[in-house]
Amino acid sequence: MHELSLCESITGLVADCAAREGIGRVTRVTVAIGKASAIDPEALLFCFPITTEGTVAAGAELVVEQIALRARCTDCGAEFAPLSRMAPCPACGGFAKTLLAGQEMQVVSFEGE
């Protein structure tokens, strides 16, 4: 499953950072996923406890934020925030666009003690 390997990456990243900062137990992890990233937040929440088991982040809460879409119209160059990948350009009505944001996933922060 796609989300399982993502959670493994998140857990690995957080465990590395926690070790560097001398944090013994991570209590909360915040990630942001783009609305067009095809990542299912529910699946992330489901997989996270599986991948954190036995690590410094065991029992940590996972908070999933969403990154809104940003796109640039290929026809007129306008930048806008489409509600979906299919939304037309509000300036010229064109459908050709380049997505600037909304496809990525990033670990925003984590808390621990």
Q: Please tell me whether residue 96 binds Zn ion under the rule CB under 5 A.
A: no
Q: How far, in Å, are 15, 26, 51, 76, 84 from residue 35 at the CA level?
A: 26, 26, 23, 24, 8
Mapping DSSP to helix (H, G, I), strand (E, B) and coil, where does residue 70 land? strand
Nearest to 10 by CA among 69, 61, 79, 86: 61
Which range binds Zn ion by CB under 5 A, 2-10, 33-41, 63-71, 89-97? Answer: 89-97
Q: Is residue 71 a contact point for Zn ion (CB under 5 A)? A: no
Given 50, 58, 91, 108, the residue binding Zn ion (CB under 5 A):
91
The only residue of 68, 94, 100, 104 in contact with Zn ion, by rule CB under 5 A: 94
CB of 94 to Zn ion, least distance (A): 4
For Zn ion, the closer of residues 82 and 102 by Cβ is 82
Confirm or reject binding of residue 92 to Zn ion (CB under 5 A).
yes
2 is in an annotated binding site: yes
The DSSP secondary-structure symbol of 75 reads: T
Task: Give which of 106, 99, 62 is closest to 84, Cα–Cα.
Answer: 99
Tokens of 74: 């290929």
Contact positions toward Zn ion, by CB under 5 A?
Answer: 73, 75-76, 78, 89, 91-92, 94
Please state the residue numbers annotated as binding site: 2, 73, 76, 89, 92
